[in-house]
Amino acid sequence: MKIKCIAILDSQDCPIYLKTFDEKDEEMRYHYIAYTCCDSIEEKVRDQTSREMYLGLLQNVGALSMYGYMTNTMTKIILFVVTKTPPKSYEVNEIMKRIHSEYINVVSNPFYEFPTKIENEQFDKKLLFLVQNIQNQ
Protein backbone atom coordinates (compact mmCIF):
# COMPACT_ATOMS: atom_id res chain seq x y z
CA MET A 1 0.00 0.00 0.00
CA LYS A 2 1.33 3.41 -0.96
CA ILE A 3 -0.12 6.42 0.84
CA LYS A 4 -0.32 9.42 -1.47
CA CYS A 5 -2.08 11.97 0.73
CA ILE A 6 -3.77 12.55 4.08
CA ALA A 7 -6.50 15.18 4.32
CA ILE A 8 -8.33 16.38 7.42
CA LEU A 9 -11.49 18.44 7.08
CA ASP A 10 -13.39 20.14 9.88
CA SER A 11 -17.10 19.68 10.57
CA GLN A 12 -17.91 22.30 7.91
CA ASP A 13 -15.84 20.42 5.29
CA CYS A 14 -13.08 23.05 5.33
CA PRO A 15 -9.62 21.54 4.92
CA ILE A 16 -7.51 22.08 8.03
CA TYR A 17 -4.71 19.75 6.92
CA LEU A 18 -3.60 18.30 3.61
CA LYS A 19 -0.25 16.59 3.21
CA THR A 20 0.90 14.88 0.02
CA PHE A 21 3.49 12.12 -0.10
CA ASP A 22 3.68 12.04 -3.88
CA GLU A 23 6.76 12.59 -5.99
CA LYS A 24 5.01 15.28 -8.00
CA ASP A 25 3.09 18.14 -6.47
CA GLU A 26 -0.57 17.34 -6.94
CA GLU A 27 -1.94 19.14 -3.90
CA MET A 28 -4.74 20.85 -5.86
CA ARG A 29 -5.87 17.51 -7.31
CA TYR A 30 -6.03 15.92 -3.85
CA HIS A 31 -7.77 19.00 -2.50
CA TYR A 32 -10.49 18.65 -5.14
CA ILE A 33 -10.88 14.90 -4.59
CA ALA A 34 -11.15 15.46 -0.82
CA TYR A 35 -14.15 17.71 -1.47
CA THR A 36 -15.78 15.10 -3.69
CA CYS A 37 -15.33 12.55 -0.89
CA CYS A 38 -17.50 14.68 1.42
CA ASP A 39 -20.63 13.53 -0.43
CA SER A 40 -19.60 9.89 -0.02
CA ILE A 41 -18.98 10.47 3.68
CA GLU A 42 -22.43 12.03 4.13
CA GLU A 43 -24.05 9.06 2.38
CA LYS A 44 -22.16 6.52 4.48
CA VAL A 45 -22.96 8.30 7.74
CA ARG A 46 -26.63 8.64 6.82
CA ASP A 47 -26.87 4.93 5.94
CA GLN A 48 -24.98 3.68 9.01
CA THR A 49 -26.85 1.66 11.60
CA SER A 50 -24.08 2.00 14.19
CA ARG A 51 -21.82 4.96 14.95
CA GLU A 52 -18.57 3.54 13.61
CA MET A 53 -15.80 6.10 12.98
CA TYR A 54 -14.14 4.11 10.20
CA LEU A 55 -16.22 4.54 7.05
CA GLY A 56 -14.28 2.31 4.68
CA LEU A 57 -13.74 2.88 0.97
CA LEU A 58 -15.31 6.15 -0.17
CA GLN A 59 -14.47 6.11 -3.87
CA ASN A 60 -11.89 5.29 -6.51
CA VAL A 61 -10.38 7.65 -9.05
CA GLY A 62 -8.28 5.62 -11.44
CA ALA A 63 -5.73 3.71 -9.34
CA LEU A 64 -6.30 6.03 -6.37
CA SER A 65 -8.58 4.82 -3.57
CA MET A 66 -9.92 7.07 -0.83
CA TYR A 67 -10.84 5.79 2.62
CA GLY A 68 -12.78 7.77 5.21
CA TYR A 69 -12.95 8.19 8.95
CA MET A 70 -15.17 10.59 10.87
CA THR A 71 -14.60 11.56 14.49
CA ASN A 72 -17.26 12.29 17.10
CA THR A 73 -16.74 16.00 16.42
CA MET A 74 -17.54 15.44 12.72
CA THR A 75 -13.91 15.96 11.68
CA LYS A 76 -13.20 13.93 8.57
CA ILE A 77 -9.95 12.14 7.81
CA ILE A 78 -9.42 11.01 4.23
CA LEU A 79 -6.61 8.65 3.30
CA PHE A 80 -5.54 8.50 -0.36
CA VAL A 81 -3.82 5.23 -1.29
CA VAL A 82 -2.63 3.30 -4.33
CA THR A 83 -2.49 -0.48 -4.03
CA LYS A 84 -2.17 -3.48 -6.29
CA THR A 85 -4.74 -5.35 -4.21
CA PRO A 86 -7.34 -3.78 -1.93
CA PRO A 87 -5.98 -3.43 1.61
CA LYS A 88 -7.65 -5.24 4.47
CA SER A 89 -10.26 -3.12 6.21
CA TYR A 90 -8.69 -3.59 9.64
CA GLU A 91 -5.31 -2.36 8.32
CA VAL A 92 -6.76 0.89 7.00
CA ASN A 93 -8.83 1.31 10.17
CA GLU A 94 -5.66 0.95 12.27
CA ILE A 95 -3.89 3.60 10.17
CA MET A 96 -6.86 5.93 10.59
CA LYS A 97 -6.85 5.42 14.36
CA ARG A 98 -3.18 6.35 14.49
CA ILE A 99 -3.77 9.49 12.42
CA HIS A 100 -6.73 10.34 14.65
CA SER A 101 -4.57 9.88 17.75
CA GLU A 102 -1.94 12.28 16.40
CA TYR A 103 -4.70 14.73 15.46
CA ILE A 104 -6.03 14.61 19.03
CA ASN A 105 -2.55 15.44 20.32
CA VAL A 106 -2.45 18.54 18.11
CA VAL A 107 -5.91 19.87 18.94
CA SER A 108 -5.41 19.18 22.65
CA ASN A 109 -2.57 21.69 22.69
CA PRO A 110 -3.84 24.81 24.52
CA PHE A 111 -2.14 27.02 21.91
CA TYR A 112 -4.01 25.47 18.99
CA GLU A 113 -7.06 27.49 17.94
CA PHE A 114 -9.72 25.04 16.79
CA PRO A 115 -10.56 24.70 13.84
CA THR A 116 -7.73 26.61 12.18
CA LYS A 117 -5.32 25.11 9.69
CA ILE A 118 -2.88 22.68 11.30
CA GLU A 119 0.67 23.91 10.84
CA ASN A 120 2.61 21.78 13.27
CA GLU A 121 6.05 20.43 12.45
CA GLN A 122 5.78 17.58 14.99
CA PHE A 123 2.47 16.48 13.48
CA ASP A 124 4.04 16.50 10.00
CA LYS A 125 6.99 14.44 11.21
CA LYS A 126 4.82 11.87 12.99
CA LEU A 127 2.61 11.38 9.95
CA LEU A 128 5.64 11.13 7.67
CA PHE A 129 7.11 8.49 10.00
CA LEU A 130 3.79 6.58 9.94
CA VAL A 131 3.62 6.74 6.13
CA GLN A 132 7.23 5.63 5.71
CA ASN A 133 6.70 2.66 8.05
CA ILE A 134 3.64 1.54 6.11
CA GLN A 135 5.36 1.90 2.74
CA ASN A 136 8.37 -0.09 3.92
CA GLN A 137 6.24 -3.10 4.90
Q: List per-residue pLDDT tens for the chain, 137 residues long.
A: 999 999 999 999 999 999 999 877 789 999 999 999 999 999 999 888 878 999 999 999 999 999 999 999 999 999 999 998 999 999 999 999 999 999 999 999 999 998 899 999 999 999 999 999 998 87
pTM of the full predicted structure? 0.95
For residue 69, the one-letter residue type is Y
Q: Which domain holds residue 46?
A: 2-135
Into how many domains does the chain fold? 1
pLDDT at 33: 96
Domain CATH for 33: 3.30.450.70
**If DSSP codes are grouped into helix, strand and coil, which group holds residue 62?**
coil
Single-letter amino acid code for the residue at 78: I
Dihedral sign from CA coordinates of 105, 98, 4, 122: positive
